């Protein structure tokens, strides 16, 4: 059975998928910004959800203060 997508085509599609939010945030040349069209509007609320299927070491996840700098955990 032949492959439906080549590796190159799949990687190109993934690249476009990753760039879509960035393209959405760019204003079109000559277009008014959303703020000028709708004075009461604000930026959209965005959500990031992280899932660790096998879990993670909670104590090693966060950075700890080390004077002026932060010391990163082992993760």
As a whole number, mean pLDDT of residues 33-48 equals: 67
Quote the pLDDT of residue 51: 80
Instruction: Give percent helix, percent strand, percent coil of the chain, each to the nearest 5.
Output: 35, 10, 55
| Chain-centre distance for alpha carbon 74 | 23
Task: Dump pLDDT digits (tens) for 16-27.
Answer: 777 777 666 666
Q: Is a pLDDT exceeding 80 seen at residue 35?
A: no
Whether pTM > 0.85 for this model: the answer is no
């Amino acid at each position: 059975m032949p492959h439906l997508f080549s590796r190159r085509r799949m990687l190109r599609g993934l690249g476009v998928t990753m760039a879509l939010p960035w393209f959405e945030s760019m204003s079109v040349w000559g277009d008014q910004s959303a703020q000028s069209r709708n004075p009461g509007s604000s930026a959209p609320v965005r959500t990031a959800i992280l899932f660790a299927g096998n879990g993670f070491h909670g104590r090693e996840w966060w950075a700890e203060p080390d004077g002026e700098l932060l010391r990163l955990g082992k993760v």
